[in-house]
């Protein structure tokens, strides 16, 4: 059985950069990732932009020498807790590697990195219809956020500022 491990991405490593792009392309093509290819601009510039973006970090899961999971994360700040937090922006386990406990392993690696950075919590977004991901996140302890339950759960909204 191939060894499974997680590692923090070095954006300057050609191998790490290729593995991040390969898994992000896989995720983008999946219906739960939008079902579309990454733009040429994104493919060409993503690694450089991640490297230069303050607070960005990524973690890869390897099974043997093959990258099978990715979490792209960003440091944020909780004003009410007055501490940093980590937001998982992209989370993917390659379709051929799902159902083997790799999501838990990757979430543990993100949590470990968040604790090492002094964070008070980890946040993420998930589509309502992505039942497999929701199940994995809930098993790990994630839940809907409600500052005060009597006023309802938080909603994640967006307003696009570009034409893309």
The residues spanned by each domain of the chain are: 4-151
Q: pLDDT tier at 140 (50, 70, 90 boundaries)?
A: very high
Q: Centre a 10 Å sphere on the Cβ of residue 83 and count the other Cβ atoms it contains.
A: 13
158: its two tokens: 């967006």
Give the span between the Cα atoms of 101 and 136, in whole angstroms.
9
Give the span between the Cα atoms of 118 and 158, in whole angstroms.
28
Backbone angles phi, psi at 159, to 5 degrees: -135, 110
Q: Which CATH architecture has domain 4-151?
A: 3-Layer(aba) Sandwich (3.40)
Mean pLDDT, residues 109-120 taken together: 98
Query: For 29-74, how does the pLDDT look when each residue is reduced to its tens digit (9 = 90+)?
Result: 999 999 999 999 999 999 999 999 999 999 999 999 999 999 999 9
Q: Centre a 10 Å sphere on the Cβ of residue 141 and count the other Cβ atoms it contains.
A: 9
Q: Is the pLDDT confidence value at 164 over 70?
A: no
pTM: 0.94
């Amino acid at each position: 059985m191939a060894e499974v491990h997680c590692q923090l991405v070095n954006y300057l490593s050609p191998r790490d950069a290729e593995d991040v792009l390969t898994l992000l392309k896989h995720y983008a093509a999946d219906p739960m990732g939008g079902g579309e290819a990454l733009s040429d601009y994104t493919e060409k510039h993503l690694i450089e932009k991640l490297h230069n973006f303050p607070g960005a970090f990524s973690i890869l899961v390897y099974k043997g020498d093959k990258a099978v999971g990715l979490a792209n994360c960003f440091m944020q700040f909780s004003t009410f807790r007055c501490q940093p937090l980590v937001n998982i922006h992209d989370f993917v386990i390659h379709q051929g590697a799902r159902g083997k406990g790799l999501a838990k392993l990757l979430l543990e690696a993100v949590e470990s990195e968040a604790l090492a950075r002094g964070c008070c919590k980890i946040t993420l977004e998930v589509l309502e219809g992505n039942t497999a991901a929701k199940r994995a996140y809930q098993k790990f302890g994630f839940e809907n956020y409600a500052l005060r339950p009597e006023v309802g759960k938080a909603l994640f909204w967006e307003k696009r500022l570009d034409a893309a």
